[in-house]
Amino acid sequence: MSVVTMIKEIKKIHPKDIVLVQIGVFCHAYGKDSYILSHIFGYKLKYIDQNLTTAGFPENAKSKVLARLEQNKINYIIVDRRNNYEIIEKNDNKNLNTYDEKFAESYEQSKLKLRIYNIANYLEDNLSKKEIKQKIQEIEKILVK
């Protein structure tokens, strides 16, 4: 069974927990969970396909990540891919869990970053066109206001 399929099954049971999958010396989060990690830690989102993102970090950063998730009162579980996705660590804040709030905030920020990225790519891809200089000047005028 693929990692993505397993994550979907685990998320049915733990919809309000960040699911971290330990794969070798890295931990990965998928979907909504990856947006939260990206927002809090600045980790880059990677698109697996059009509808699914992932973000990850090396195992040596795990204690820092878990401490910050606990500080933000975000529930998490860590599952080990080698041991049939067995839960190896868990944090449950019960009714203080801020997962939904953090996701909403993270998702909005990620979408804005993607829009900025797409605008920058458009401008770079069209540098040779005459109207680009004018568009950049218009953007600069807006930013200076």
**What local confidence, expressed as pLDDT, does residue 48 receive?**
86
**What local confidence, expressed as pLDDT, does residue 90 receive?**
97
Half-sphere exposure of 48 (CA within 13 A, CB side): 14
- Averaged pLDDT, groups of 10, the chain, 145 residues long: 88 97 96 96 88 93 97 97 95 97 94 89 91 91 86
**What local confidence, expressed as pLDDT, does residue 2 receive?**
84
Containing domain of residue 54, as a range? 1-145
Any idea what the CATH number is for the domain that residue 112 is in?
A: 3.40.1170.10
**What local confidence, expressed as pLDDT, does residue 60 receive?**
96
**What local confidence, expressed as pLDDT, does residue 113 receive?**
86
* Number of domains the chain contains: 1
